[in-house]
Structure 1
Amino acid sequence: MRLLVVFSHPCPESFGAALYETACRTLRAAGHELRCHDLYAENFNPVLSTEERRQYLTDTAAIIAKHTEHVDNLQWAEGLVVIYPTWYYGPPAMLKGWLERVWLPGITFEVADGKQKRTKPKLQNIRLLVGITTSGSPWWWIRLIRDPGRSLWTRGLRPLFSPRCRVIWKQLYNMNHVTEDDRKVFLGKVERSLSTIPV
């Protein structure tokens, strides 16, 4: 399977970086074709400028032209793997900015043609979504507040993908208090889960 892996964490020594390395190694060993973006290592600029906001609907092509590699990879992929820490119940600003500057009209969706109508999905090529994240909060609190981070991907963005898009979600809770053994166990879970994805 053609997989786009997007990683967002500012620290190369982080547990997130270990998750990214494990995911890429496991997926390649299983025979998948990968294209990867480490957003911080690439110095991706997540800020939607004033000019770009004004161009967002009137001259979208001008913004797309700044991110042709990211756009090409989104359209090439059959699966999307996102790896990031959950901060303030959502993705880091870097990853959110990637969504705002790359997931543009005409690329991931078409703007709805009237009030009370949904946008039209344009990422029908994506038939697998994998989310791998960590969060400082315990699982019961995340459930109590209805899991906003996971909902962004699985409820908000998944409708842009193939109607049969499969979802794999792996989340390590209580990140501020986990032990080294907890981390090893979670890495093992991620590796086992990814190794079973059909090519």
Structure 2
Amino acid sequence: MRLLVVFSHPSQESYGAALYETACRTLRAAGHDLRCHDLYREGFNPVLSTDEWHGYLDKTDQIIARHPDHVADLLWAEGIVVIYPTWYYGPPAMLKGWLERVWLPGITFEVSDAKQRRPKPKMSHIRLFVGITTSGSPWWWIKLIRDPGRSLWTRGLRVLFNRQCKTVWQQLYNMNHTSDADRAAFLRKVERRLASL
């Protein structure tokens, strides 16, 4: 399967970087064709400028021209894998900005044509979504507040994908209090899950 892997963490020495390396190695070993983007290492600009905002609906090509490889890879992919730390119950600003500047009208959705209607999906080529994240909060608290990070991807954005799109979610909770053994066990869990896709 053609997979787009997107990683967002400012430190190359982070546990997130270990998750990214493990994911890419495992997916390649399983025979998948990967295109990978490490947003911080690439220096991706996550800020939607004033000019881009003014042309968001009718001059989308000007935004695409600033990072055509990201849009091309999104259109090429049959599956998307995102790897990031959960901060303030969602993705880092870098990854959120990637969504705002790459998942554009005409690329991932069409703006609805009337009130009370949701955007029209344009990503029927996406048949697999994988989210891998860590969070400082315990699992029970994340569930109590309705799992906003997971909901973003597997409910809010999932509707843009193929109707039969398979979703996989791997989250390590209590990150601030995990042991070396906890983190090693989660790496093995991620490796096993990705190897079985």
Scaled by the length of structure 2, what TM-score is found?
0.99
Q: Map of 1:126-137 to 2, 5 A cutoff?
A: 126-137=126-137
Report the alpha carbon displacement of residue 97 of structure 1 after superposing the two structures with TM.
Answer: 0.1
CA deviations on 1:89-129 (whole Å, 9 max, x unpaired) are 00000000000000000000000011111111011110000
Q: Map of 1:7-22 to 2, 5 A cutoff?
A: 7-22=7-22
Residue in 2 aligned with 1:89?
A: 89
Report the alpha carbon displacement of residue 67 of structure 1 after superposing the two structures with TM.
Answer: 1.7
Q: Map of 1:120-159 to 2, 5 A cutoff?
A: 120-159=120-159
> Which amino acid in the other structure matches residue 44 of structure 1?
F
Root-mean-square deviation (CA, aligned residues, Å) is 0.5
Residue in 1 aligned with 2:119?
A: 119
Q: Distance in 1 between matches of 2:112 and 2:61?
A: 18
Report the alpha carbon displacement of residue 58 of structure 1 after superposing the two structures with TM.
Answer: 2.4
Residue in 2 aligned with 1:60?
A: 60
Q: Distance in 2 between matches of 1:58 and 1:32?
A: 36
Scaled by the length of structure 1, what TM-score is found?
0.98
> Which amino acid in the other structure matches residue 52 of structure 1?
E
Report the alpha carbon displacement of residue 65 of structure 1 after superposing the two structures with TM.
Answer: 1.4
> Which amino acid in the other structure matches residue 76 of structure 1?
W
Q: Map of 1:169-180 to 2, 5 A cutoff?
A: 169-180=169-180
Residue in 2 aligned with 1:163?
A: 163
Q: Distance in 2 between matches of 1:33 and 1:58?
A: 33
Moved over 6 A (4+): none
Q: Distance in 1 between matches of 2:58 and 2:76?
A: 26
Uncovered stretches (5+) of structure 1, i.e. residues with no partner: none
> Which amino acid in the other structure matches residue 114 of structure 1?
A
Number of paired residues?
197
CA deviations on 1:36-65 (whole Å, 9 max, x unpaired) are 000000000000001110010121111111
> Which amino acid in the other structure matches residue 186 of structure 1?
F
